[in-house]
Amino acid sequence: METFIDQTFEDVDFTKTPFQTAEYDNCHFKDCLFQDKHISNCTFLECHFSDCNLTNTQWGGTTFNSVEFENCKLLGSDLSGCNPFMLQLRFRESNLTLAICSALPLKGTSFLDCVLEQTDFTHADLKKVRFENCDLKNAIFDQTQLEGADFTKAINYEIDPTQNAIAGALFSRDGLEGILTTFGIKVID
């Protein structure tokens, strides 16, 4: 497998240019188009994706270690097939609407200023995840490990505490309604 080290890929339309299955180490992908691509069995180590369109991308067998997505579109992106070994991701100002993150070990991941509407976190390990200024409208939490997760600055989430592990999770007073909805309890100011 070929290795690319310390390279920048800028303004590349990978829907027209083949994306090479390779190891990418400390590479930067800027303003690239990956829409509807199947990026399988690649390795990304300490890489940065900024201003990229990764809509409906599938990541079968791909390894991510210390990878950040900044101001990226990951709408419908299927991350559930990526390699769970050493998985470490960060998301900033990105849109993950309808993304699939089911069964992923995302412990300690940061989602900062992200849209996570209808994102599927079924069976995911989200222990100590930080959802800062994130919109979680209709996000799916089912059998999800949320121990120690920080929802204090998140909005529009609904989490059933009988179907998810939430011990030690942090919620703001304004967000309590998203936990109590399951029980038909309304919070009134």
Q: pTM for the full model?
A: 0.93
User: Which pLDDT score is estimated for 23?
Assistant: 98
User: Which pLDDT score is estimated for 66?
Assistant: 98
Distance from C-alpha of 90 to C-alpha of 66, rounded to nearest angstrom: 8
Q: Is the pLDDT of residue 188 over 70?
A: no
Q: Is the pLDDT of residue 177 over 80?
A: no
DSSP assignment of 66-133: SEEEES-B-TT-B-TTSB-TT--EEEES-B-TT-B-TT-B-TT-EEES-B-TT-B-TT-B-TT-EEEE
Model pLDDT for residues 134-173, shown as the tens digit of each residue: 999 999 999 999 999 999 999 999 999 999 999 999 998 8
For the chain, what are the domain ranges? 1-15+23-94, 109-189
User: Which pLDDT score is estimated for 185?
Assistant: 65
Q: Which sign, positive or negative, has the C-alpha torsion 154, 46, 121, 141? A: negative
Closest to 165 measured CA to CA, from 130, 114, 128: 128
Average pLDDT over residues 3-14: 98
Q: Residue 182: helix, strand or coil by DSSP?
A: helix
Domain covering 109-189: architecture: 3 Solenoid (2.160)
- 1-15+23-94: CATH homologous superfamily? E3 ubiquitin-protein ligase SopA (2.160.20.80)
Q: What percent of the chain has pLDDT over 90?
A: 89
In DSSP terms, 28 is beta-bridged to 8, 48
User: Which pLDDT score is estimated for 1?
Assistant: 82
109-189: same fold as 1-15+23-94? yes
